[in-house]
Amino acid sequence: MEVQETAAGTDRVLNVPNILSMARLVGVPVFLWLVLWPEFGGPNSDGWALLVLALSGISDYLDGKLARRWNQVSNLGRILDPAADRLYILSTLVGLTWRGVLPLWLTGVLLARELLLLVMVWILDRHGYAPPQVNFLGKAATFNLMYAFPLLLLSDGSGTVASVAAVCGWAFAAWGTALYWWAGILYVVQVRRLIRADAATD
């Protein structure tokens, strides 16, 4: 009976972890709008943007933890969770680069890694494989970047708080970028092994 419940749970769409992931996806355009609002003549809404980003980080932690604890791991959740992570990273890159908080070279480095992963997913799809699951290293990279971005947004000002936020933010950004690329290289190795195994069996 327990195995049947586990199997059934993989196809369940409306559960608490998936709802949290969906709410996180809804927050992506809200966050981007709050970050860019001052650029279009609106008031500075960095405080609200930081709140949305903080809530997304909490929901990112909770959806995975609750899915495992309540046996609500689903196929949809495996797609929603990394999709939300990547969309938040992309929207933050766009917003902070537009604001001049992030340099173009860092944005290019992170986007190049995303492009690499998209190519790997395309190759896997051509060979009938599902996208690779998010590993611990990828989660650690996302964790560092999700700390780096709000700190760098907070550093866009003057005073002691902004100075401390800049130092901590760049430290998290450096570690996050390095881990992000390390995880990407591991994905490439994983894809290469799968394709070689396929070729060997043909």
Question: Mapped to the 3 state alphabet, what secondary structure does 121-170 carry?
Answer: HHHHHHCCCCCCCCCHHHHHHHHHHHHHHHHHHHCCCCCHHHHHHHHHHH
pLDDT in tens, 38-57: 888 888 888 888 888 888 87
pLDDT in tens, 117-171: 889 888 888 877 776 666 778 888 888 988 898 888 888 877 888 899 999 999 9
Cα separation, 148 vs 151, in Å, equals 5
pLDDT in tens, 79-130: 777 788 788 888 888 988 998 889 999 999 999 998 998 898 888 888 777 7
Domain definitions of the chain by residue range: 1-84, 101-202
Let me know if 68 is exposed, middle or buried by CB neighbors in 10 A (0-12, 13-18, 19+): exposed
Question: Mapped to the 3 state alphabet, what secondary structure does the chain carry?
Answer: CHHHHHHHHCCCCCCHHHHHHHHHHHHHHHHHHHHHHHHHCCCCCHHHHHHHHHHHHHHHHHHHHHHHHCCCCCHHHHHHHHHHHHHHHHHHHHHHHHHCCCCHHHHHHHHHHHHHHHHHHHHHHHCCCCCCCCCHHHHHHHHHHHHHHHHHHHCCCCCHHHHHHHHHHHHHHHHHHHHHHHHHHHHHHHHHHHHHHHHHHC
Whether the pLDDT of residue 63 is over 80: the answer is no
Residues 6+ apart with CB under 8 A from 54: 150
Geometric angle at alpha carbon 78, from 153 and 144, rounded to 5°: 25
Whether the pLDDT of residue 72 is over 90: the answer is no
> What confidence tier does 6 reach under pLDDT thresholds 50, 70, 90?
very low
